[in-house]
A and B are shown apart, each in its own frame.
Chain A
Amino acid sequence: MASRDIYTREAALQRVMYPRLCPDMQPGDMFAGRALEMEYRGVGLTPDVTLFGLAHGMGYFYREDFFQKALEQASGVEAEEIAGMMAYWREQNTTARVKSQYTERIRKHLPSDSFAGDVGIGFPLYRMTGAFVNYELLVREGLPGLERLIQGRPQNDFTRALKDSVALIGQCALHYAQQARVLSKPETAQALESIAARPPATLREAIQLTWLYNCLSGIMDYGRMDVYLGGFLARDLKSGLLTRQSALEMLVGLWRLMVARKTVYHGRVVIGGLGRPNEKNADEFALLAMEASRIVRDIEPQLTLRLYKGQDERLYRKGLELIGTGATYPLLYNDEVNVPAVQNALGVSRMDAEQYVPFGCGEYIIDHKSFGSPNGVINMLKALEVTLFNGRELIKGQQMGLAEGGLTAFDTFEELYAAYKRQIALSIEVLAEVEKLILVETAKDTPFLMMSLLYDGCIEQGRGMLEGGLEWLGATLESYGNINAVDSLQAIREMVYEKKLISRERLLEALAHDFEGFETERDLLVSAQKYGNNLEAVDSLAVDLHDFEARHIRKQAARVGLHSLLMVVINNSANTFLGRWTGASADGRKAREYMANANNPVGGRDTRGVTAMLLSLAKFPNAHHAGTVQNLKLSDGIFRDAPDKVKHLMDTYFDLGGTQLMVNVVRRGDLEDAIVHPERHQNLLVRVGGFSAFFVTLEEDVQQEILSRTLH
């Protein structure tokens, strides 16, 4: 199959899928287009199949469970056909094809790829996600303009397939136009007919086109929306086509479709920040977007407000007002720190760095110029466990990673720390290799036509985004358990090596027994310095480890041949999932318990107040990673009594070098009460890490983790 034409194949597949699989427009929908995620059938194509909250594959996907069900109901020739398809797709789905290329080394060091269901230090994540494409181009050129652009380039299989994709979007628009007529929605029908033929002329048409495109492409983040829609809003308001109120209703309608899409970890709408042409229009849009989020008050979109000094103050004020209502949005990003950091980390110009956007849970990429997926996952606490126990892990007793003798072999803390760093380094190196391999092998299977259509460079180069069309192809590595690892290392340094209150053998015994019968040792370990209190020794350790990890990951890009490979310290529920497969740790954490969220202190261990916690958070250097997220849990009383002081608190943190802040405003006691009486708190929104959720819908240990975070 070396010379197969993946372009024509994908175009043909798209023709089979769309509009056949387009979910019907619902009577309450403001715009046409519902996403396909809930409709994944047995096989198909999409960049990121997320099922049950976990990355499930990319490209051509295959769902065994779906086929199994069909097989049970079939008989005779049909059953044979189904069995034949199963045999084919089991091996030929993109993820399987990628995995079949794993090297011996990868198989040895990444024995499992189920981070939520197995032990391991590193795990690959199969997905091609977090694309931020050129919506400005889409709304400026419209479908006919895109077709002209493609036509203007030398033709090949790729460009022909691209043209077919454009035509298909137009056909889907007309397919939905018919439905809209039936539902007596003449305005929607008209907009759909219009965008099939012309560039969008109104806000309604521009939203309709971008939304439809998102549904068909499988893209789940929505870009710098204030930039690409701000002009349409201004024009429609000026011409009197829309009032502020009717425009707001439109956004609310769009937001509700995003809610229905349930991407959970995505749904980023970025507003504010440097590098926005026509800033005034964008600002007005941003204000309206925040108002829409106040009304909708749900887990999506993940409204992301970028801030810089000199920006219209109303944006920040409005954002804080929204946060004060307990909406968890907007997430605040500090351009003053992030722009120079991105410039360095991704090695791009200042102008390009101003176009940074956090996708999904918070990985920075450059808007429609770079790509930051696939991802790998590394569990820093597991790496420490394996180092302490000479290559053995505690949950299943499995052998993995480097075995350099374990804790008893290290006579000084420095020796232990150096061995731990070697352990991490190995996992990082293998993960870098696997991420590169995923990109290379996926590119052989699919050009991702829909995404390539709007990614810079693809039309010009006549090549798909993964095969040279997109110049900056990078990847990210998600790091978890960092702070538990730091607290554990500090506790070992203090109690084992410095004060010698616990022997090395005794510590290993205590950990292996999950502290049962070792309460004295556990109390001692808990009493050691903990990160998040602005204390010198442990905070420097945190900074050193963070910087080592970030730099080592970054270094791999050149070795494996990526534009960038960067660390992110973000979160989904992975801190909890990975925690379930991690043994007791020297910070006093019991086996299988959740780990702290992202860079945040372990819940309840930041005892010196919110200012001390923020001082600790602001210490991390930022020039070598692609994003860290920070949670701040504030009681609603503080927000009510002293909103200005809350703003001062955040401003100081940002001035000190803070990159980002996600603020959860909760009423004291509400979370506890919600566990006992979930029915009374259906509306209680919480920030988990890289996403928001209704508290009552979360799994019990995820709830406990959030509850454990210190409320200031």
Chain B
Amino acid sequence: MEGLVCDIQRFSIQDGPGIRTTVFLQGCTLRCAWCHNPEAIPARPVMMRVNTGGKEAEKPSSQPMTARRVMDVVLEDRPFYRQSGGGLTVSGGEPLLQAEFSLELLRLARAAGIHTALDTAGHVPWDALSAALPLTDLFLYDYKVSRDAARWLGAQDGRIRDNLGRLARAGAAIILRCPVIPGVNDNEEHLRAIAALLKDHPSIRSVELMAYHRLGTSKYRALGQAYSLEKLQPVDGPQKAAFLAQAKRLIAHPIKWG
């Protein structure tokens, strides 16, 4: 089976426990204003202008690859997973947009005895999540905004909330991943909403607050697209610390700030 793979990142240390390999898949169901992987949004590969060794070139955002070939790379690092409790993370885009391919990767990883994580924004049919449930050791579930979803995500968020609830009730191990976007969701109301979710769903283990960064900006240029948050700057030290302190006051769960 073939899928469209944007990137295979080894020694991935931000996407779940231990040392992992994260496979980024093409296509997304959301249009988040701050997206740092805009090349992964369309369902088909897009051309990007890249500069390699002084030479301008065009390069597609993803390549078709068989699940076997992807796993050949993933399994090279098995000794590192064993040592660290790491494994495979399937991410995107929205990996469940290529649901069959994602499931195949998870299945092969399971068969090889390595830890599996799925990084999803949850804006997908429940069937896809439910099929992933028995193959996934850990869900990295994005929870981005508590209001104005249509404006910031390009979609209503009812399904995201529903799916999170169903996943949690099914007993899935979940880490909630919350990007902190200055002026969008770095407020008390959003933190309270996160706290409420945690209270409702005990199977959510912890929260990761992910600081906004501008590393995706150059990708918009490579794609020849405008970046709507061009002027937005990451928050600095004291402001960050204040927000984290507030988060710790409101949320009883372990918080990771990355």
What residues make up the interface of A, taking CB atoms closer than 8 Å to B?
534, 608-612, 615, 638, 641-642, 644-645, 648-649, 651-652, 655-656, 712
Find B79's partner among A610, A645, A656 (CB 8 Å cutoff).
Answer: A656
Whether B79 and A649, one on each chain, are in contact in the complex, defined by CB atoms closer than 8 angstroms, is no
The SS class assigned to the A binding surface is: helix
**Structural contact, A534 and B76, CB atoms closer than 8 A:** yes
- Encoded as 1 (CB less than 8 Å from any A CB) or 0, chain B from 68 to 91 comes to 000000001101101110100000
CB of B219 closer than 8 Å to a CB of A: no
Q: Could you write out 9 A-B pairs with CB less than 8 Å apart? A: A611-B11, A611-B80, A615-B79, A641-B14, A641-B258, A644-B84, A645-B13, A645-B19, A652-B84
- Please report whether the interface of chain B is mostly helix, strand, loop or mixed according to DSSP: mixed
Chain A residues whose CB sits within 8 angstroms of the CB of B83 once the complex forms: 648, 651-652, 655
> When the two chains form their complex, are residues A648 and B79 in contact, meaning their CB atoms are under 8 A apart?
no
Contacts of A611 in B (CB 8 A): 10-11, 19, 76-77, 80
Docked-complex contact B258 and A655, CB < 8 angstroms: no
Alpha-carbon distance between A641 and B84 when the two chains are bound, in angstroms: 15
Shortest beta-carbon distance from B57 to chain A in Å: 12
Contact B11 A712 (CB under 8 A): yes
Residue on B with the closest CB to A534? B76
Closest-CB distance, B10 to chain A (whole angstroms) = 4
Who on chain B is nearest to A642 by CB? B13
Please, how many angstroms separate the alpha-carbon atoms of A534 and B78 in the complex?
A: 13
Contacting residues, chain B, for A615 (C-beta < 8 A): 76-77, 79
Closest to B80 in A: A652
Name the A residues within 8 Å of B14 (CB-CB): 641
Given A609-B10, A610-B11: A649 in contact with B80 (beta carbons within 8 A): yes
Expressed in whole angstroms, the minimum distance between the Cβ of A646 and any Cβ of chain B is: 9
Cβ of A652 to closest chain B Cβ, rounded Å: 4
CB proximity of B105 to chain A, nearest CB, Å: 18
* Residues of chain B with a CB closer than 8 A to A652's CB: 19, 79-80, 82-84
Chain B's nearest CB lies how many Å from the CB of A528?
16
A476 to chain B, nearest CB (A): 31
In the assembled complex, B18 has its CB within 8 A of some CB on chain A: yes
- Among B11, B18, B79, B84, the one with the most A-chain Cβ atoms within 10 Å of its Cβ is B11
- Nearest CB in chain B: distance from A651 CB, A: 5
Residue of B nearest to A647 (CB): B84
Q: Which residue of A lies closest to B12 (CB)?
A: A609
Which of B76, B79, B80, B82 has the most A CB atoms < 10 Å from its CB? B80
Write the nearest CB–CB distance from A446 to chain B, whole angstroms. 50
Enumerate chain B residues within 8 angstroms of A655, measured Cβ to Cβ: 79, 83
Chain A neighbourhood of B84, CB < 8 A = 644-645, 648-649, 652
Known: A611-B11, A649-B19, A652-B79. 7 other contacts (CB 8 A): A608-B10, A609-B10, A611-B19, A611-B77, A645-B13, A652-B82, A655-B79
Contact digits for B23-35, partner A, Cβ 8 Å, 1 yes 0 no: 0000000000000
Residues of A contacting B76 with CB < 8 Å? 534, 611-612, 615
Q: How far is the CA of A550 from the CA of B80 in the complex (A)?
A: 29
Q: Which of B126-181 contact A (CB under 8 A)?
A: none
A648 to B13, CA, bound (A): 11
Closest chain A CB from B237 CB (angstroms): 14
Residue numbers in A under 8 Å from B18 (CB-CB)? 645, 648
Most buried by A among B10, B82, B83, B258: B83
Q: For residue B77, which residues in chain A have a CB less than 8 angstroms away from its CB?
A: 611-612, 615
- Complex CA gap A504/B258 in Å reads 53
Q: Collect the chain B residues with CB atoms within 8 Å of residue A649's CB.
A: 11, 19, 80, 84
Report the minimal beta-carbon distance from B95 to chain A, rounded to whole angstroms.
Answer: 20
Contacting residue for A641 out of B9, B13, B79, CB 8 A:
B13
**Closest A residue to B17 using CB positions:** A645
Complex contacts, B80 vs chain A, CB 8 Å: 611, 648-649, 652
Looking at B13, B14, B18, which has the most chain A CB atoms within 10 Å of its CB? B13
Residues of A within 8 A of B258 (CB): 641
Bound Cα distance A11, B84 (Å): 59
Complex CA–CA separation, A648 to B20 (angstroms): 11
User: What residue in chain A is nearest B257 (Cβ atoms)?
Assistant: A641
Q: How far is the CB of B164 from chain A (nearest CB, A)?
A: 26
Return chain A residues, CB-CB under 8 Å to B11.
Answer: 609-611, 649, 712
Kindly list chain B residues whose C-beta atoms are within 8 Å of the C-beta of A648: 18-19, 80, 83-84, 86
Contacts of A612 in B (CB 8 A): 10, 76-77
User: Which of A641, A648, A651 has most B Cβ within 10 Å?
Assistant: A648
Interface contact A638-B13, CB-CB below 8 Å: yes
Tell me, in angstroms, the Cα distance from A652 to B76 when the chains sit together: 13
A136 and B76 CA atoms in complex are apart in Å by 46
CB-CB under 8 A from A645, the residues of chain B are 13, 18-19, 84
A612–B77 Cα distance when bound, in Å, is 8
Task: Tell me how far the C-beta of B210 lies from the nearest C-beta in chain A, rounded to whole angstroms.
Answer: 12
Complex contacts, B82 vs chain A, CB 8 Å: 652
CA A515 – CA B258 in complex, angstroms?
46
Q: Indicate the member of A611, A612, A712 with the most B CB atoms within 10 Å.
A: A611
- Determine how close the nearest CB of chain A comes to the CB of B244; give it in whole angstroms: 15
CA gap between A615 and B21 in the complex, in Å = 15
